[in-house]
């Protein structure tokens, strides 16, 4: 009986890990970026978000037009940094972004963006959750061509370890980076 249980557990683990070390399929990429554009990009733009990190209540942080804020346990942040805690307005804005991401159905908890001096969104990246120990995959929305893409088209760019950029459609790219 014990051998059967171990075999069942092993099969379940193997099934769960299938696809762990590969990027989203081309079909999934198209669906994901359409949902991100429909649900999330406008919220990021409206709030002037530069960085959003949702660590599931252990360390939430946001850098946006209102300032930089952190909320979490003692492991959140750095002992040399002065953390400004979330207030009700920041919590509402943070939760608004989280709700938009949830509505998109894309598994991401980290967003980084660049905003021009006059407050316009330059680009936004969405780091995908994955179980790979080798690679990170990021959806990049770059409507202004603000990000230099030396590895565009899947080439290796400026040498070993450089990110690669694969166009998904229009202003969207899949960035593949080595997981450090």
Tens digit of pLDDT for each residue in 31-87?
999 999 999 999 999 999 999 999 876 889 999 999 999 988 777 766 666 678 899
Does any domain span residue 82?
yes
Number of domains the chain is built from = 1
Residue whose token pair is 């980084």: 112
- Is 13 inside any structural domain? no
Q: Looking at the predicted structure, is the pLDDT value of residue 144 above 80?
A: yes
- Residue ranges making up the domain that contains 73: 23-178
Q: Vertex 140, ends 64 and 129: CA angle to 5°?
A: 85
Residue 61 placed within a domain: yes
Percent of the chain with pLDDT over 90: 56
Q: Which residue is listed with tokens 């998904």?
A: 168
Is residue 7 situated within a structural domain? no
In a domain? residue 40? yes
Strands of 172-178's sheet in order across: 67-72, 59-64, 51-54, 108-115, 121-128, 135-141, 172-178, 164-169
Within a domain: 29 = yes
Burial class (CB in 10 A: 0-12, 13-18, 19+), 178: exposed
In a domain, 16, yes or no: no
Mean pLDDT of 148-158: 57
Q: Is 8 helix (H, G, I), strand (E, B) or coil?
A: helix
Task: Establish if 48 belongs to a structural domain.
Answer: yes
């Amino acid at each position: 009986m014990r051998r059967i249980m171990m075999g069942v557990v092993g099969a379940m683990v193997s099934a769960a890990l299938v696809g762990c070390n590969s990027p989203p399929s081309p079909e999934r990429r198209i669906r994901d970026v359409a949902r991100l554009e429909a649900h999330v990009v406008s919220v990021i733009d409206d709030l002037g978000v530069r960085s959003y990190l949702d660590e599931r209540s252990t360390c939430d942080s946001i850098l946006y037009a209102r300032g930089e804020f952190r909320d979490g346990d003692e492991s959140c942040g750095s002992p040399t940094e002065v953390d400004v805690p979330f207030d009700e307005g920041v919590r509402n804005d943070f939760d608004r972004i989280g709700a938009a991401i949830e509505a998109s159905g894309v598994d991401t908890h980290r967003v980084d963006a660049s905003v021009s001096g006059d407050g316009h969104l330059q680009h936004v990246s969405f780091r995908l959750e994955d179980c790979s120990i080798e690679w990170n995959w990021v959806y990049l929305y770059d409507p202004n061509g603000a990000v230099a893409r030396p590895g565009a088209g899947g080439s290796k760019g400026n040498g070993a370890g450089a990110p690669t950029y694969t166009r998904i459609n229009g202003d969207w790219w899949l960035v593949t980076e080595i997981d450090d």
